[in-house]
Amino acid sequence: MKKSDFHYDLPPELIAQTALTERSASRLLVVPPAPQQFVDTHFNHLGEWLRPGDLLVFNDTRVFPARLFGAKETGGRVEIMIERLLPGERARVQLGVSKTPKPGAIINLDGGGHAVVEDRDDAFFTIRLEVDTSLEHYLNRVGKLPLPPYIERDPDEADLTRYQTVFAKNTGAVAAPTAGLHFDDALMETLRNAGVEFGYVTLHVGAGTFQPVRVENLNEHVMHREWINVGAELVEQIERTRANGGRVIGVGTTVVRALETATRHGENGDAHVKPFSGESQIFILPGYVITSVDAMITNFHLPESTLLMMVSAFAGFDRIRETYAHAIEQKYRFFSYGDAMLLWPNKQEGDA
C-alpha cells in the first residue's frame, strides 16, 4: 500500500484546539462490522456497549513537561524537545536550532544549568543535563508541556490536568495516550460497578508519534521506537477474561501496539500475549491481523499517519474510510482533544 492511500481532507475547524470541560462528554462513534450502521452517541454511554467480565486495557504512562529552552554559547537560541528520558540524567531529544551543534557543545538552559550534546542519531541527539536537582524535578519546575503541533496555541493551566489521564502513573511520555483522556473517575466507577475489569500496560509515547511518514512506499518506512511494559498480572487478566468468555478492549493505539508487540504466535496458529518489557518498533498496517484485542477505543487520527494505518488494519481499510467520511459529515472533533470511536474488527473479504 502507499502513503497516499491514507489521505483524507479534513476541514481545519474540526481539529479540536481545547479539551471539553467534562472528559466523558465527548462524542463516541460506535463502528460495528459492515454492513451494520454507525451509532452516534456520547462517551459517557460507553457502558451500554460493554458486558460484565469485559476487560478494558489502559496505558498508564504519565506525560512530563518535555520542552526546554536555552542558548548556545554563541548566543543562538535552542528549543529542546525531549523524546525519551535515559539513565544517568541523559535524554534523547530533538533540537530546534539554526545550526546543528557538534558533540561536546554546551547549551545554557533558561531554567538554570546546562545540557551537553553527546551524540547524534539521524534527527535525534543524546544530551546530558547538568542541573541542580533530579532531572524529573527540574523538568516539573521549568519544563513546558509539549502539546501536539496541530494545537495552535500555547499550553495553559487547564492542559496540565486535561492532557493527562486520570490513571496516569509511570512518568515517561511526551504525548498523552489520548483515547484514555475521555475517562473520568465517575465513568470508571460506573463501569467497575457494572462488572467491567481494568488492566494496564505502560507505553511511553515518544515525539516520534508526530513524525510524518516521509516515503510513499510503506515498505520503506522505518517505524519509531517506544518503550513498553506488559506485565505478568495483565497477561493473567487477559487469559482469565478470554477463558470466561469476556472481551479484551484496548483503550488506544498505544495499548494495541504494546499488546501486539508482546504477542507470541504458536506453530498451530494460536496467539497469546506474554509478559514483555523493552522497545517496540512494530508497524501495523492493512494485511496485519491484530489478535490481542477484541475491540478498540481510539480517537480520530491524522491523514497518512501510522495510527490511521493501524486502525485500518483492525477495522478494515474501506470501513475506516466510511467511518471518517461519516465523522466529518457529522462534525466530530478530531485528534488529541477530539472525540472517540469504538471500533470492532471487520472480517469482510475484499478489504485492502
Q: 115, 125, 71: which is closest to 94 by C-alpha? A: 125
Chain centre to alpha carbon of residue 332: 19
Query: Is residue 57 scored above 70 in pLDDT?
Result: yes
- Residue 207 confidence (pLDDT): 75
CATH 1.10.1060.10 fits 67-142, yes or no: no
Helix (H) or strand (E) holding 265: strand 263-265
**Intervals of CATH 3.40.1780.10 along the chain:** 3-63+159-343
328: cell is 466529518
Per residue in 208-222, pLDDT (tens digit) is 777 889 999 999 998
As a whole number, the mean pLDDT across the chain is 94
Mean pLDDT score, 219-242: 95
CB of 84 within 8 A of CB of 94?
A: no
**Intervals of CATH 2.40.10.240 along the chain:** 67-142
Scanning the structure block, which residue is given the C-alpha cell 513537561?
Answer: 65
Distance between CA atoms of residues 231 and 170, nearest Å: 13
- Residue 21 confidence (pLDDT): 94
Mean pLDDT score, 302-331: 97
173: cell is 511520555
Per residue in 142-167, pLDDT (tens digit) is 999 989 999 999 999 999 999 999 99
Work out whether strand 276-280 and strand 271-273 pair parallel, antiparallel, or are unpaired.
Answer: unpaired
pTM value is 0.93
Which DSSP category does 3 fall into? G
Helix (H) or strand (E) holding 161: helix 157-162
Q: What is the CATH number of domain 3-63+159-343?
A: 3.40.1780.10
Distance between CA atoms of residues 66 and 85, nearest Å: 9
Distance between CA atoms of residues 120 and 103, nearest Å: 8
Distance between CA atoms of residues 176 and 205, nearest Å: 7
CB of 87 within 8 A of CB of 118?
A: no
- Residue 348 confidence (pLDDT): 46
